[in-house]
Structure 1
Amino acid sequence: MLEFYLGGARSGKSRCAEARAISLSQRRTYIATATAGDPEMAARIAHHQTQRAGDGWRTVDAPEALTEALSREAQEGGVILVDCLTLWLSNWVCKEDSAQWQVVREAFLAALQGLPGDVVLVSNEVGCGIVPMGELSRRFVDEAGRLHQQIANIADRVVLVTAGIEQVLKGK
């Protein structure tokens, strides 16, 4: 089963997705896409790691090679939580190679449809605000929107989290 959790920054989406993953299996893998480019981001990563400590998570870092990590880690009866797709996207968009990103995105979407076990994806909904002024920011918002639509189309369940409240948009 493929589930997709969306929400704004600090909306509670990661907490809700983690609770869902815990309810699905005792064999849990957390695929982290963040890179600690500054002390504040390092603190955020440490906070998420602390939250997962003791809950039986195995963590895999995949800031760029997400598709490969999913293919390697997926197993029948297990659950993978990917947090988060917008960080993964930013790792690729900052490369400014849109042709390469298109290939990576298509391979990712194809892989999602054939993985064993359960997969829970987490991403930031960034398209609800004003249109960004810079070219890179606009490209990021556009690419995130396209990626989210494509994932929502193939996902079994899509959940929007606002203020810690889950709203199921698709599925049960």
Structure 2
Amino acid sequence: MAGKIILVTGGARSGKSAFAERLAAESGAAVGYIATAQIYDEEMRYRVKLHQQRRPENWQTFEAPFAAEQAIVEAAVSCKVLLFDCITLYLSNMLCAIPAEELTEEGAYGEMNVRIDRLLQAAQKAALHDVTTIFVTNEVGAGIVPENRLARFYRDVSGLANQKIAAAAEDVYAVLAGIPVNLKKINALLAQEGDR
């Protein structure tokens, strides 16, 4: 697998993480798993445990709830495929670290842009050394408008971050009911049909 950026997105329990893990494993390369989760309760502990049980023992894990661009740089030294799981948890960590009185549209969007830009810059530099970064994210904006301000910020910054990463990615997979669909490939085919 030549160095590139891949985005895997989908809803909760869509199979996106399992697909991204399969993609990484099938590369046959050394894999670095960049984990963004923080364990605050038993539910999250269980979710993390499920992910850990699925991962091969020879994968290196890099804990990165904050400043994950540093984890990408560090992991790229010894690994040829980096699996970043996940963008939306990473953004949640960021939003929860901002005091409520300082949480504004400008501040939240600005911070998201800075963090995603840093991740993309690190992944793009890694790609120059034949390292592929697979970002996993959630589609969180397909439901009703959330009733509280923080949830609306989370929905909005997640959607904007997903767009930004998708624009930089060579492949973008949407996973629905465990079935991955390469959106960039479909988009390119549709564009070719339109040119005829």
TM-score bracket for the superposition, by shorter chain length: over 0.9
Q: Percent identity?
A: 40
Q: Aligned partners of 1:21, 1:105: CA distance in 2, in Å?
A: 21
| Structure with the higher strand share, 1 or 2 | 1
2:182 is matched with which residue? 168
Structure 2, unmatched stretches of 5+, are 187-196
2:44 is matched with which residue? 41
Is the alpha carbon distance of 1:76 and 1:32 closer, same or farther for their aligned partners in structure 2, counting shifts above 3 Å? closer
Render the CA deviation track for 1:50-81: whole Å, top value 9, x for unaligned: 11143x21111101121110011114871000
1:109 is matched with which residue? 120
Counterpart of 2:161, as a letter, is L
Q: Aligned partners of 2:79, 2:46: CA distance in 1, in Å?
A: 32
Counterpart of 1:106, as a letter, is D
2:24 to 17, 21, 24: 21
Q: Which moved more, 1:65-74 or 1:107-116?
A: 107-116
1:153 to 163, 167, 170: 167
1:83 is matched with which residue? 85
1:59 is matched with which residue? 61
Render the CA deviation track for 1:112-168: whole Å, top value 9, x for unaligned: 222131111101111111111111000011100110000000100000000000111
Q: Which moved more, 1:90-99 or 1:5-14?
A: 90-99
What secondary structure does 2:23 align onto? Answer: helix
Structure 1, unmatched stretches of 5+, are none
What secondary structure does 1:80 align onto? Answer: strand
Render the CA deviation track for 1:73-129: whole Å, top value 9, x for unaligned: 114871000111110110001122635444323222322222131111101111111
Q: Aligned partners of 1:26, 1:109: CA distance in 2, in Å?
A: 21
Superposition TM-score, scaled by structure 2 size:
0.81
- 2:30–2:78 contact (8 Å) kept in structure 1: no
1:138 is matched with which residue? 152
- 2:7–2:169 contact (8 Å) kept in structure 1: yes
Shift of 1:25: 3.2
1:70 is matched with which residue? 72
Q: Aligned partners of 1:77, 1:29: CA distance in 2, in Å?
A: 6
Q: Give every structure 1 segment of 4 or more consecutive aligned residues whose post-TM-superposition deviation is greater than 6 Å.
A: none
Q: Aligned partners of 2:74, 2:23: CA distance in 1, in Å?
A: 22
Counterpart of 1:166, as a letter, is P
